[in-house]
Structure 1
């Protein structure tokens, strides 16, 4: 069986669907024992939560969480009328 070298990869994805209110994404890169990445999500209160993180060897997961925008009352949901 051939030997396998250290892990090395890079990926990202993003979703932005205004009709549903979904807006989120993630990106990550790894080279051997070192990983760095970030992800974000649009919260129901209108703020954008961003998390940037690193993992260097055995240091564990180190995250920096920030928020953009001002929190507001989420839109209320009114279901369509149902007639029997």
Structure 2
């Protein structure tokens, strides 16, 4: 009996709290331009400008990949690469060309190689699979 009364009271409290929240309207963001009154000084956001480069080369796991990109205003260009499981290196060079959008040139270096047997790289490297042992905590 008491649990039903508590449940009803909590339900009414939740309803009252939900009704008291403000209603928000969603609109596009406003430009961040601030002009000082009485002075010629103004603060405007500048066009996008960045340059970054990163790469990973971990020989034991055969992971070799990276990315480079630079942007100055509307001019964006870069490249990325990845060592594929079949032994080839895939390279993608790209640029953004105004209204034409993202334009990429994909190239491959090397020749695809596949193992002679049905074994995967992981099974050859790690030896035999063993099921995990059960552990019990006291």
Aligned to 2:50: 9
Q: Secondary structure at the match of 1:67?
A: strand
Q: Which has the larger radius of gyration?
A: 2
Which of residues 22, 38, 61 is equivalent to 2:63? 22
1-structure distance, mates of 2:90, 2:129? 34
Higher mean displacement: 16-25 or 54-63:
54-63
What is the TM-score with the length of structure 1 in the denominator? Answer: 0.89
Q: Secondary structure at the match of 1:9?
A: strand
1-structure distance, mates of 2:80, 2:72? 18
CA RMSD of aligned residues (A): 1.8
2-structure distance, mates of 1:82, 1:49? 35
2-structure distance, mates of 1:81, 1:5? 57
Aligned to 2:25: none
1:82 and 2:123 are equivalent in the alignment: no
Higher relative contact order (CA 8 A, sep 6+): 1
Aligned to 1:41: 82
2-structure distance, mates of 1:60, 1:81? 48
Which of residues 45, 48, 59 is equivalent to 2:100? 59
1-structure distance, mates of 2:129, 2:56? 30
What is the TM-score with the length of structure 2 in the denominator? Answer: 0.56
2-structure distance, mates of 1:15, 1:6? 30
Give the Å deviation of 1:82: 1.6
Give the Å deviation of 1:49: 0.1
Which has more strand, going by share of residues? 1
